Amino acid sequence: MIENDCAEVMGIRFPKLTLDRTVQFIGEVIERKSPELFHVITMNPEITMACQKDRELRSIVDEAGIITADGIGIVMVSRIRGGNLPERVTGYDTLLRLLESGNRKKWSFYFLGADAATNEKVCGVIRTRYPHASILGRHHGYFSQSEEAGIVAEIGSLKPDVLVVALGAPYAERWIHKHKSTLNAKVAIGVGGSLDVLAGKVRETPEIWKRLNVEWLFRLLQQPSRWRRQLILPRFAVKALLYRK
């Protein structure tokens, strides 16, 4: 895990880094060409809560290279409890910034996840928008157990600089951890539903909603079926504020 001043939320240590600094740090890891996969986890309140009961998930998080606060709830709790995280660092924003840097520095990418049509479409969008970032390969996220080994072997042989995994959290985090030693990627990051947004399948949250810290409400209005998942947010707030080791 990155050595840095950290804020603790429900026992999980979040480095106090802005989006800029986070992307710069990941870029340095890519340029260093270390043989070990660097796992980036963009933590939302759901995974943070799940870590309280799920020891295996907790150890995956503890072993990650860097953890970012993907949720205003985590940032707010850190501020109330004196940890002061500088800002939200979401999977979507980190992905866009990695693509921008990758376009400048000619990094290579592999995109795993989302449904087949979205996976294909997003790669077209990325090729147009970031022509110098190379897409070494891609695969949709609805593969069977018997297909999994082939996908891992393909990624392992292509050796991408960045493996983008859009399988939903915490499935993506478990998947990356399970195959960590054979993926041969320099960096792997779980990005939730980001490919859906980049492909235009799901509307991107307008800046004003993000600035007012109500992205969760925008997403709920766009995808009302998320209401059950979002019930966790007030529970997270109470538990995290009252948290004692």
* Binding residues for ligand UDP (CB under 6 A): 113-115, 141-142, 166-169, 192-193, 195-196
For residues 63 and 142, which CB has a smaller minimum distance to ligand UDP in the complex? Answer: 142
Q: What's the closest the beta carbon of residue 85 comes to ligand UDP, in angstroms?
A: 19
Separation of alpha carbons 176 and 164, rounded Å: 10
Q: What's the closest the beta carbon of residue 33 comes to ligand UDP, in angstroms?
A: 29
Q: What's the closest the beta carbon of residue 92 comes to ligand UDP, in angstroms?
A: 8
For residues 30 and 135, which CB has a smaller minimum distance to ligand UDP in the complex? Answer: 135
For residues 47 and 77, which CB has a smaller minimum distance to ligand UDP in the complex? Answer: 47
Q: How far is CA 182 from CA 133, 141, 149, in A?
A: 23, 18, 10
What phi and psi values does residue 7 have, to the nearest 5 degrees?
Answer: -105, 140
User: Side chain identity at 78, as an amino acid letter?
Assistant: S
SS3 category, 207:
helix
Task: Name the residue with the smallest CB distance to ligand UDP.
Answer: 141
Structure tokens at 195: 């490919």
Residue 39 host element (H or E): strand 38-43
Q: What's the closest the beta carbon of residue 25 comes to ligand UDP, in angstroms?
A: 22
Separation of alpha carbons 26 and 61, rounded Å: 17
For residues 6 and 109, which CB has a smaller minimum distance to ligand UDP in the complex? Answer: 109
